[in-house]
Amino acid sequence: MTADLDAFDLRLLAALQREGRAPNAALAETVGLSASQVSRRLARLEAEGVIAAYAALLKPDAVGLSVLAFSSVSLERQAEAMDGFEAAMLRFPEILECYSVTGEQDFVLRIVAKDLKAFADFLSNRLLRVPGVRSVRSSIVLHTIKQTTALPLP
């Protein structure tokens, strides 16, 4: 379901994606509305679920997480193992994102770890022990070229 967004909503959302802590007065100036109009629009966008949450974006290195990896997971018997696998992924804080995908693999995971040893321990002692996991193929990120949380808006 797509929300009914006008030009003011889109400008407001773009401004929030750039600076999530901007006060309503600054947002109002940016989008060309009054602060009270901005407040009402934000309340509506939150209530409609367009704005899902507000969060601080942390630098992984600053909190001791120097390894970022993407892992592709194949399950033994996909239909039987999928629910249990999905539930297990929700319990692992190292897994930042988990996607069910098309293609040769069943899932793609974005995983963080303190270092390579911690990543290897996570794979061997936790991920590979989830019932139904047939194989895991991982790629360690060497250098991040682009990373954004901002969605492209019309």
Over pLDDT 70: what percentage of the chain? 99
pTM over 0.75: yes
Mean pLDDT for the stretch of residues 123-146: 97
- pLDDT, tens only, 24-42: 999 999 999 999 999 999 9
User: With 80 as the cut, is the pLDDT of residue 142 above it?
Assistant: yes
154 in a structural domain: no
Question: Cα–Cα distance between 27 and 13 in angstroms, integer?
Answer: 10
**Lookup: tokens for 25:** 């007065």
Instruction: Give the position of tokens 């696998």.
Output: 85
* Strand segments (E) across the chain: 67-75, 95-100, 107-113, 133-140
Averaged pLDDT for residues 118-133: 98
**80 and 120 housed in the same domain:** yes
Is 70 part of any domain?
yes
Tokens for 115, please give them.
């270092």
User: Across residues 53-69, what is the average pLDDT?
Assistant: 97
Of the candidates 94, 98, 96, 107, the residue with the CA atom closest to the CA atom of residue 136: 107
pLDDT at 64 over 90: yes
Same domain, yes or no: 35 and 95: no
User: Quick check: 85 and 75 in contact, CB under 8 A?
Assistant: yes
Q: Tell me which residue range forms the domain holding 132.
A: 60-140
Residue 23 and residue 91 in one domain? no
Q: What is the domain-level CATH number for residue 25?
A: 1.10.10.10
Are 70 and 122 part of one and the same domain? yes
> Are 75 and 111 within one domain?
yes
Q: What pLDDT sits at residue 1?
A: 55
**DSSP string of 111-139, one letter each residue:** EEESSHHHHHHHHHHTGGGSTTEEEEEEE
Do 92 and 64 lie in one domain? The reply is yes
Name beta bridge partners: 134.
Answer: none
My answer on whether 33 and 81 are in the same domain is: no
**Together in a domain, 131 and 84:** yes
Residue 146 lies in a domain: no
**Residues 57 and 149 sit within 8 Å (Cβ to Cβ):** yes
- The yes-or-no verdict on residue 124 having pLDDT over 80 is yes
Which letter does DSSP use for residue 63 in this model?
G
**What DSSP character marks residue 20?**
T
Asked if residue 80 belongs to a domain, the reply is yes
Q: Which of 105, 93, 100, 92 is nearest to 138 (CA)?
A: 105
In this structure, are 66 and 33 located in the same domain? no
Count how many domains the chain has.
2
